[in-house]
Amino acid sequence: MSASGHSLRLILLDQSAPGGHAINDLDHMDICLPGSDEGVEAEGLADLGAQASLFEELALETSDRLLAPIESPAGERPVARVQRDHAQPSQQNRAVVDGEAVNPEAKSPAQFVDQHGASMTPVYQPMLATPHPQPFTSEEWWFDLKWDGFRCLTYIDGERVQLRSRNGNDLAHRFPELRSIRASEPVVLDGEIVAMGEDGKPSFFLLGYQPPQLVVFDLLHRDRSLVSIPLEERWDQLNAVELFGPITRSQPTSTEGEALFEVVKASGLEGVVAKRSGSKYLPGRRSPDWRKIVARSQLNAVVGGYLRGTRGSFGSLLLGLYEGDRLLVAGSAGSGLDNRSIAELWPVLQSLERPTSPFAEHADFMGEPVWVEPRLVARIEYREWTPVRRLRAPVFKGIVHDLDPADVTWANEAPDL
């Protein structure tokens, strides 16, 4: 059997059988793969019972992972949906990405098993918050800090720990200290990787320089998928799990959103996230049930060049946002670039140099511009936008490693302009 040029060997296990014996009495099963309207048809696989697991072995790319276990309600013919890490989900797989891969009522949900036979829990995507213009107070909402770090879904099963970014990329190699995190049982956690400064405040800029820790604010999986149960019930289950290592639980507050925002603003923190009481977790969706209220305006911007500095390297970064396939100028940032960040960025920028501007419009910069391939994304803090769509008082906060530059658009980063 092959799909998209890759040979797949699929083995189904009956979870209801002792030890998960392979099923040999075959009937019929459809496997829907991204990029294929017809899917791949596997003949033979009889009644799998209420639960089953799917092995995937890729002959050419062993790093790919399955994103959806088999769904086989009793009495119905099973359908296995397969989603590759680097592929866009097809329509058939949308339900899987949205967190419906596991039957929430099942006592023993299907598990992933990698090519070495090690069990894995289902893979999720993080729920995202919508921007909200001002703080508010309500008895129907909870309020928490907006942590200034890397969003991370953490899969813990004994000593096996996987750290996944919002795009599914592995974060363990960047934050190896977090591999020591443990839990009293297999779980999937949603949280943020943060680094604390000497003042005790989280700082995106310090990631990679200070020891990281994981701040957990939600529980997605514990014996079964929890995404369909209310927020407070997920928190109750999270509190019942013992956590060990460089990990801590977030402590949201009820009703007092405006008071928390004033404390956050006075402390120079990033902002507040409000979560509706009783809300479900919607994997991969930006939902109005979660609202982010920023005290300090931040965005992501594509680096399209730099201005030469007085000491032979560079003094500021030239920034832009995409509008369609056109990279438009958003400004330049020199503040926030210290000796350490300059030393790290300088060889990268040199390797990306190009003779022509990547920007689709002309702009006058205060210095000699050097153009680079638009492959880097920078986190920028700023005061406001000028009437001509330029950042005012931008400050460099760090490089974002988990964003495709093509996704850094005016619509996503500056929707009100």
Stretch(es) of the chain classified as CATH 2.40.50.140: 298-413
378-404 average pLDDT score: 90
Q: Please state which CATH number belongs to domain 298-413.
A: 2.40.50.140
> What pLDDT is stored for residue 311 in this prediction?
67
Whether 14 and 20 have beta carbons less than 8 Å apart is answered as yes
Residue the block writes with tokens 């119905």? 76
Q: What is the pLDDT of residue 116?
A: 42
- The model's pLDDT over 326-353, given as tens digits with 9 standing for 90+, comes to 999 999 999 999 888 999 999 999 999 9
Alpha-carbon dihedral angle through residues 273, 274, 276, 277, given to the nearest 10 degrees: 100
pLDDT tens-digit map of 354-385: 999 999 998 888 888 999 999 999 999 997 88
What region, left, alpha or beta, does residue 271 occupy, with left being phi > 0 and alpha being psi -120 to 50 degrees?
left
Domain with CATH 3.30.470.30 in the chain: 128-294
CATH number of 128-294: 3.30.470.30
Question: Quick one: average pLDDT of 82-95?
Answer: 32
For residues 256-270, average pLDDT: 90
Residue 211 near residue 87 (C-beta atoms within 8 A): no
Q: Which two tokens stand for residue 175?
A: 């934050």
pLDDT at position 97: 33
pLDDT higher for 341 or 30?
Answer: 341
Max CA distance (Å), the chain: 74
Record the pTM: 0.60
Tell me: the pLDDT tens digits for 297-321? 889 999 999 998 876 789 999 999 9
Query: Is residue 27 scored above 90 in pLDDT?
Result: no
Measure Cα distances from 61 to 5, 115, 124, 311 in Å. Answer: 11, 11, 21, 45
Q: Mind telling me the catalytic residues?
A: 146
Are the C-beta atoms of residues 414 and 321 closer than 8 Å to each other?
A: yes
Per-residue pLDDT tens for 223-233?
Answer: 999 999 999 99
- pLDDT, residue 85, reads 32
